[in-house]
Amino acid sequence: MKPGKNAKNIIGKNIEYFRKRLKYTRKKIAENIGINPSLMTYYEQGKRVPSIGKLDKMAEILGIPVEWLMMENPRDIQFAARSKGKETKPEIKEILFFQKMMIDFVDLLSKIGILDYKYKGPRYPAQKPKPGIAEIVKKLLDLPDIIFYEKFKEMLHVNFNVYIFEIPFKNENISGVTFYREEVFCVFINKGHTKQRRFFSLAHELGHILFHIADDSYLVSRLASTNPFEKEANQFANMLLLPEKHFNRMVDRNNLHLYKKEYIQELADLFHVSPESVFYSLAKKGLVQYNWKSYKPETTYPGNYNKEWTYKDLPWMYILTAYLAYQQDIVSLSRFSELLFTGIREAQQIIKKLDEILENSHNIEH
C-alpha cells in the first residue's frame, strides 16, 4: 500500500527539517544513498516518497532514529541550544543521541507504573537569579551552606526528581545538556571534565531548570558563552557554590596581594569548586582584574580522556526503569540490551543480578 499524500508531505518536510538542522546539502545526502540530487528535491516536496531502505540510510547519515523522519511534528524534537556560536554537526549528533536516550527513558517511566517520577522542585520562569534564591534552593534540597558534589547529585534526585547522566562526551567543549519533556528533567554532565568543572556545570544546569527551560526543549552549555541565559545560569551557580557570607568572611579586602594563584586555589579547595570560579567571583567584586595574569589560575582540561562508557555509568533509575519495563513485558530482551548499550549475554547477567538484589530486599523486608 502506497503512503497517502499527507504521509508524503510529512516525510518530505521532516527530511528537509533535519537535513537543514544538521547542515547537510541535498547533494551530500543523495551521494551517500546513491540517488540523483533532483530526487532529493522531489522527496522534500512530497512528490515522491523514499523506500524504507532509503529512509534508513538517510537516518543513519543524519545520526537520528528513522522514526523521527516519519513523525507528524519534527519540531517536537527541538534544537534549542543556548550557547556561543552555532552547534557543530558532531555536537548536534551527540545531542540527538542523548535526546533519544531521554525520550526512551521518559516513555518507559510513564508506562511502568511509577507514580512519583516527575520534577517536583521549584520553577521561576521569566525571572532572574536574585540574592537569597540560592539559600531557598539549598533549604528545599536539604543541603548545607557549603555543599559537596556527590551530596548535591543525590539530593537533586531525591528531592527534585532530576535525573543525572554523568558520562564522557565525545565533544569536549560541551559541559552539559539539560532536557525537559513531559515534566521530566534529565541532565547530561560531561564526565570527561574535572570534578570541579562537573560540580559547577551541574549547578549551572540547575539554573537553567529553575529559570529558563519550558516546554519540550533543551539547553546546551559550553565552556564559555556570551548568551544571557548562560550568564544567568553561571550567576546562579556562583551563588549556590560560593555562598556570599562565607566567601566574604574568607576574603580580606585589605590584602589584595594575597590573591595569588596559591591563595585562590586554597579558596577553591574550601568551596570544592574550580579556581576559575573563585577568580571570577573576586573579579565581580572588583578585587582582581581579568588581565592580572599572575593571579588568574589556568586549568588544563583532560585532552585525551577515555570517551568510552558502559551501562555502569548510567543512573540507577534509568537501569531500573529499563529492567521493570522488561519484567512487565513492555520491552523485549533485545530492546533491554539496546537501552543499556550492551549485548544480549551481558543484558541477561544484569537482569539476573537485579533479580537477586530485589529478591534479597524482599526477604529482608519480611
Taking residues 322-345, report their average pLDDT.
96
Q: H helices then E strands: how many in the chain? A: 15, 4
The Cβ-side half-sphere exposure at 78, using a 13 Å CA radius, reads 17
The pLDDT value recorded for residue 75 is 54
Distance CA 145, CA 321 (A): 33
Cell numbers 508506562: residue: 111
Distance CA 265, CA 7 (A): 60
- Please, are residues 16 and 44 in contact by the beta-carbon 8 Å criterion? yes
Taking residues 214-232, report their average pLDDT.
68
pLDDT tens digit string along 29-44? 999 888 998 999 999 8
Taking residues 76-96, report their average pLDDT.
62
Q: What is the pTM of this model?
A: 0.79
Q: Which amino acid is at 346?
A: E
**How many residues can be counted in the chain?**
366
pLDDT tens digit string along 135-176? 999 999 999 999 999 999 999 999 999 999 999 998 888 889
Distance CA 88, CA 93 (A): 9
Extract the C-alpha cell encoding 14: 521532516
Q: Which of 84-88, 91-95, 353-357 has the lowest mean pLDDT?
A: 84-88
Structure confidence at residue 118 as a pLDDT band (50, 70, 90): very high
Taking residues 268-289, report their average pLDDT.
86
Distance CA 305, CA 160 (A): 31
The pLDDT value recorded for residue 217 is 61
Residues 6+ apart with CB under 8 A from 126: none
The pLDDT value recorded for residue 141 is 97
- Please, are residues 274 and 268 in contact by the beta-carbon 8 Å criterion? yes
Strand partners of residue 177: 188, 220
